[in-house]
Amino acid sequence: MMKRLSMLSLLVAGVVVGIVLSGRATDQPSLMARVPTAAATAEPVPAQAASAPLTAPGPDFTRVAEKTVRAVTNISSVQVQRRQATPFSNDPFFQYFFGDQDNLFGRSRAQQSLGSGVVISADGYVVTNNHVIGEDGAQTEVTVTVGEYRDLKAKVIGVDSWTDIGLLKIDATSLPVIPWGDSSKLKIAEWVMAVGNPFSLNQTVTVGVVSALGRANVGITQYEDFIQTDAAINPGNSGGALINSRGELVGINTAIFSQSGGYQGIGFAVPSNLVRRIVDDLQKFGRVRRGSIGYVEVLPMNARLAEELRAPKADGIVVNQMSRDSAAYRAGLEPGDIIVAVNGTAITDPSQFVRLIADATIGSSARIDVLRDGKRSTLRIPIEAQQERRVRRR
C-alpha cells in the first residue's frame, strides 16, 4: 500500500512539474513581445495608440472650403478682333481663286478664353487674370458665372499686364466674399488650398503647400514676385483663389510650369498684398500708377562682365542700353554702369531692380549707387510717372 501511494505521489508531482514547465514555455514569448525594451516598468501602450501614424495628418480644409468655394467664379470672355486685309487682295491671280471677297481676310474673328475669378466684395467686384479677360485693345465680352449657373455680364474696370491682374464688376449684391489675408506672413511649407475651374470643372479644390516665396525671373510677367505652390493648378485655374488654412485669400493663381500642359507640381500665384495694391489703383484710376526712371535695359551680372568692367565682385546689375530722353540718362546714368544698390537696398537681379523702381513714390528721388571704372558713386534720379503702354500679347 505504501509503495502504491509513493508511486501515485511521484506520478502527481511529475504531472504538476510538467504543467508548470509547460506554462513558462508558452508565457515567455508573449512577455518578450509585450516588453521589447528595458522600459518594462512603463505603462502598457494602448493598442490604438501603438498603431497611430508617426506623421501628423494634413489640416482639415472642409470648413474652409464650405465658406470659400462659392466666392470663386467661372469666367468666360470672347474677344472680337478684325483681321488685317491680305496684301494680295488686289492681285489678279489671288482674285482668280478667291474672287472679289473683301471680307474673306478682313472680317472679324472671335477668340474665347476660360478661367476663374474671385469675388472680393459683396457688391460685385471680381479679381481675375489679365490674360483671362483677353488681349489689350480687343472688344471683349466677359461673362461671370456665380452660384448655380447664374451668368452675369461683367464690365472690365481695368487690367494690368505687368502683374497679369484684371478687375471686373458685375451687377449683383450680397455675394459671398473671401476675406483678404496678409501674404507677407506666409511661410514655406505652410498648407494652402487652390480653388478654380480647371478644364471647366467648376469650383475644384486642391491642397498643397507653399513651395517658395518671392519667386522672380521666371519669364511670366514684367513685375514678378510670385508665391510658388505645389497645390494642383491646371489650365482654367488662372484667376482662381489661393487660400490659407484660416480661409483667407493669400494669392491669385496665375500660371503653371509644365512640359505637358498639365499639373507638374509647380504653380505660381500673385501675392494678395500686391493684388490689393493693383485693385486699389484700378478702382481709383482705371490703371496702375508706377514709378519710372525712363527706358533702361539692365542685365544680370556675372564673372565675365565683372572682369570686363573692372568690378571687384560680380554683384549688382549692368546697364546695357538706355534712352537719351530718360530721367536716368539726364541724371548721369550711362551704359556700362553697374547698379549695386537702390535707396540702400543691395541689388541682386534685374527683377528686383524693376520692382524697387516701380514701387517708388512718384515725385521722389531714388538714390542709386553705381560702379564705373571700378569707382563707386551715388546718383539721385527723379521718379517719374510710368508712361502707360498697351502691350499686345501674341
Q: SS in 3 state form for 2-69?
A: HHHHHHHHHHHHHHHHHHHHHHHHHHHHHHHHHCCCCCCCCCCCCHHHHCCCCCCCCCCCHHHHHHHH
What integer pLDDT is reported at residue 314 of this predicted model?
Answer: 81
Q: Is the pLDDT of residue 329 over 80?
A: yes
For a pLDDT cut of 90, what percent of the chain falls above it? Answer: 58
Mean pLDDT of 24-47: 37
Q: Would residue 365 show up in a list of annotated catalytic residues for this protein?
A: no
Name the band, by pLDDT with cuts 50, 70 and 90, for residue 25.
very low
The pLDDT tens digits of the residues spanning 91-131 come to 665 555 555 555 555 555 555 668 999 999 999 999 999 99
- End-to-end CA gap in the chain: 118
The Cβ of residue 242 has, within 10 Å, a number of other Cβ atoms equal to 33
Name the band, by pLDDT with cuts 50, 70 and 90, for residue 24.
very low
Active site residue: 76, 113, 116, 131, which one?
Answer: 131
Q: Would residue 136 show up in a list of annotated catalytic residues for this protein?
A: no
> How is 132-163 classified by DSSP, letter by letter?
HH--TTSEEEEEEEETTTEEEEEEEEEEETTT
What integer pLDDT is reported at residue 295 of this predicted model?
Answer: 95
Active site residue: 160, 164, 225, 369, which one?
Answer: 164
For a pLDDT cut of 70, what percent of the chain falls above it? Answer: 73
Q: Is the pLDDT of residue 372 over 80?
A: yes
Name the band, by pLDDT with cuts 50, 70 and 90, for residue 379.
very high
Q: Would residue 238 show up in a list of annotated catalytic residues for this protein?
A: yes
Mean pLDDT of 309-313: 85
Active site residue: 161, 183, 211, 238, which one?
Answer: 238
What integer pLDDT is reported at residue 86 of this predicted model?
Answer: 54
> How is 323-387 classified by DSSP, letter by letter?
-TTSHHHHTT--TT-EEEEETTEEP-SHHHHHHHHHHSPTTSEEEEEEEETTEEEEEEEEPEEPP
The pLDDT tens digits of the residues spanning 172-211 come to 999 999 999 999 999 999 999 999 999 888 889 999 999 9
What integer pLDDT is reported at residue 388 of this predicted model?
Answer: 63
Question: Average pLDDT, whole number, for the chain?
Answer: 81
Name the band, by pLDDT with cuts 50, 70 and 90, for residue 258.
confident
